[in-house]
Amino acid sequence: MPPRILIIDDSSQVRNVMRRLFESEPGWLVCGEANNGKEGIEMAERVHPNLIILDLSMPVMNGLEAARNLHHAMPAVPLIMFTSFQTQVLEQEALAAGIRKIILKSGPLGELIHCVRVLAKDAA
């Protein structure tokens, strides 16, 4: 099943880049966008994504808190944290919150595409 991706990031520029990147892949669809964790949870309930990408640092509700809620509500939906920060403590907290993979924003975008491809295949 091709990925139906929900993007949750407070930067409209990051969301736009990700949307263009994902929609350039055959069959991939960005089914929604949100600019904070609270909006992301509400959007996920409406659009039923099969993969969610979220930032860590966002206003209203951060990515870890949103991930906990999303993982509880949709445990089969893979969560990817796309962030500028990575520490061992964050990795442990992210895994405990249900995040399957942390991808650094400073890394190559090909890594994000590969991760979505693998997780979407695993979730199908």
DSSP assignments along 15-80, one per residue: HHHHHHHHHTSTT-EEEEEESSHHHHHHHHHHH--SEEEE-SS-SSS-HHHHHHHHHHH-TTS-EE
Residue range 75-94, pLDDT digits in tens: 999 999 999 887 888 889 99
Say what percent of the chain tops pLDDT 90. Answer: 79
68: left (phi over 0), alpha (psi -120 to 50) or beta: alpha
Distance CA(9)–CA(22), nearest Å, equals: 15
Residue range 9-18, pLDDT digits in tens: 999 999 999 9
- pLDDT at position 124 over 70: no
Domain, as residue range, for 63: 4-123
Distance CA(30)–CA(84), nearest Å, equals: 22
User: pTM for the complete prediction?
Assistant: 0.94
We report the CATH number of the domain holding residue 91 as: 3.40.50.2300
Kindly give, in sequence order, each residue whose CB lies less than 8 Å from that of residue 18, ignoring residues fewer than 6 positions away. 7, 9, 30, 53, 82, 112
Q: Which two tokens stand for residue 23?
A: 């929609």
Q: Please report the pLDDT score of residue 34 as a whole number.
A: 97
Q: How many domains does the chain have?
A: 1
Distance CA(75)–CA(64), nearest Å, equals: 15
Q: Please report the pLDDT score of residue 123 as a whole number.
A: 62
What type of residue sits at position 111? E
